[in-house]
Amino acid sequence: MTKDLIMGRKIPVIEIFNSISGEGISAGTIVTFVRVAGCNLRCSFCDTRYSYEGTYNIEEMLPEQILEKVAEYKCKDIICTGGEPLETGMEKRYLPLFLASYGYNVRIETNGSCELYSEEELRSFGIDNVLRNVYYTIDVKCPGSEMSKFDLIEKNVHFLKKEDEIKFVIAGEEDFEYSIEKIKAFKDIFRSNEITLNFSPVFGSIEPAELVELLKLHNSFFAEHELRVRLSLQIHKFIWNPQKRGV
């Protein structure tokens, strides 16, 4: 797929809106969200089921229409989320590259079950892998999600750089221990590439304070291996009703 080829092809969009980023590296900053429809996973605690269950209006939009809508907010930072933006074989996979080719800084929130962009895919939109303005927030699925078998971190980890981040969504102690084992397996890459490792509690399943205590127990390990570990709360759920959309 190239920039010229994607133009004229419709992409299923749930919503486009401007707000603060609720979590991760960009938390608290003003961004424009582009939420695409459809997901290849069915996580047990998913909080955006409306993106794939057909309970929310889906608008089929051309990439150039999406670009026009995004431009209205006059914000250079975009988060492409879903659903799953990187599903292979679909036009929506190339929307982040299309937007980035117009100078936007695009962060992709992916469930971790899809391959990241190859250098060839990046080049087809005029984007250099080393200097790319496309960033990844990759979810490493823990057992509580019931989707951990689809995780591709072993392959995707080699494409990450400093501005990218990993997210472990924690529903309980089993998920936490699972995430620690994953970190141990890739600690050298996480350290050398300065990857941020976010621990995010499942809203309503585990108290943030409990997760903090678990992190404290392992802080010596994090420090020894110079890992960038942080607690990541979904701050938008503290500002607005957790069920509110478009915020």
Which pLDDT belongs to residue 112? 97
What is the C-alpha separation between 79 and 109, in angstroms, rounded? 7
Tokens of 202: 């499942």
Q: Given the DSSP bridges, would you call strands 134-140 and 165-170 parallel, antiparallel or unpaired?
A: parallel
* Averaged pLDDT of the chain: 94
Q: Is residue 165 a part of any domain in this protein?
A: yes
Residue 142 in domain? yes
Q: Which residue has the tokens 């591709």?
A: 152
The model's pLDDT over 100-125, given as tens digits with 9 standing for 90+, comes to 999 999 999 999 999 999 999 999 99
Asked whether the predicted pLDDT for residue 246 surpasses 80, the reply is: no
Q: Report yes or no: 46 and 109 within 8 Å, Cβ to Cβ.
A: no
Residue 245 lies in a domain: no
d(CA 104, CA 88): 22
- Does residue 243 register a pLDDT over 90? no
- Residue 207 CB: number of other CB atoms within 10 A? 10
- Bridge-based pairing state of the strands 77-81 and 30-36: parallel
Q: What is the CA radius of gyration of the chain?
A: 17
User: Is residue 55 predicted with pLDDT exceeding 70?
Assistant: no
Amino acid identity, residue 70?
Answer: V
Mean pLDDT in residue range 19-24 = 92
Take residue 203 and report the two structure tokens written for it: 């809203």
In a domain, 228, yes or no: yes
Residue 218 domain flag: yes
Q: How far apart are CA 37 and CA 34, in angstroms?
A: 10
Could you report the per-residue pLDDT of 63-75, keeping only the tens digit for each?
Answer: 999 999 999 999 9
Q: Tell me which of 5 and 242 has the higher pLDDT.
A: 5
Q: Strand pairing partners for 12? A: 60
Contact 236, 20 (CB under 8 A): yes
Q: In terms of pLDDT, which residue wins out, 235 or 238? A: 235
Q: Quick one: average pLDDT of 30-38?
A: 97
**More confident position, 4 or 85:** 85
What is the domain range of residue 22? Answer: 3-239
Tokens 């420090």 correspond to: 223
pLDDT of residue 113: 97
Residue 215 maps to a domain? yes
Helices (H), the chain: 3-6, 63-71, 95-100, 119-123, 153-156, 173-192, 208-217, 219-224, 236-239
Q: How many domains does the chain have?
A: 1
Q: State pTM to two decimals.
A: 0.94
Per-residue pLDDT of 154-184, as tens digits, reads 999 999 999 999 999 999 999 999 999 999 9
- CATH code of the domain in which 28 resides: 3.20.20.70
Rounded to an integer, the average pLDDT of 7-11 is 93
